[in-house]
Structure 1
């Protein structure tokens, strides 16, 4: 189980770092221009804090895998992360329109990979809590 937490930790660090390319890849300078200043800034600031949270969760998994599996507090934190990533898995299917990825090779690949990642993390964290 500890190995899975370390794998997840590394994957979360990569996921956090991938947020750096979002503004350029999604052309936010153009796409967000019609929004008010507050909405543009909310997008940027929230993306930063999501990336920071994912990064810190990754560090937690790498540095405290044993505690997350073996202690009561760690297991409760694992439950929270399992619920978090399980909810994110559901949103992957009900929050994003299939029009965004169906029939597009790269987008479909990303959709499937993220679905697998969110499933993996949900199962590992919930397993750590319940077993």
Structure 2
């Protein structure tokens, strides 16, 4: 399960790397102001880094045959929180929102299943 969790995290890094193209950044961020545009793009780059580092660590540890349980537990907490925030701040009516919500739920479960190995 840790391998699957790590691969999902790497997939999310790729997804976030596509945000500039998918969401028309920075042009579509411009109305929020130059500071908000810079903050949003910086946070996205930092999140890509976290997903890459975290996913690679999970994959590496799974290849070593031993994953420290705090690593997938932290991932499960991260993705569980992200899932909860989906219900707070996003419109769940469009099908892409429903799809990403289901993916967040699946990712949460896979990380938590990896806690036990």
TM range (shorter): 0.7 to 0.9
What is the RMSD computed on CA atoms of the aligned residues?
Answer: 2.1
Match of 1:82 in 2: 76
For structure 1, list consecutive stretches of 5 or more residues without a partner in the other structure: 69-73
Contact 2:90 2:97 in 1 (8 A): no
Question: Do structure 1's residue 111 and structure 2's residue 97 form an aligned pair?
Answer: yes
Bigger relative contact order, structure 1 or 2 (CA pairs below 8 A, ≥6 apart): 2
TM, length-normalised to structure 2: 0.81
For structure 2, list consecutive stretches of 5 or more residues without a partner in the other structure: none
User: How many residues are aligned here?
Assistant: 115
Pair 1:113–1:58, CA change in 2 (3 A): farther
Match of 1:95 in 2: 89
Q: Note the alpha carbon deviations across 1:88-110, whole angstroms, 9 max, x for none.
A: 11112222123xxx2x5xxx1x3
The whole-number CA distance in structure 2 between the counterparts of 1:124 and 1:83 is: 11
Which of 2, 7, 15 pairs up with 2:4? Answer: 7
Task: Please state which structure has a larger fraction of its residues in helix.
Answer: 1
Contact 2:76 2:112 in 1 (8 A): yes
Question: Do structure 1's residue 127 and structure 2's residue 77 form an aligned pair?
Answer: no
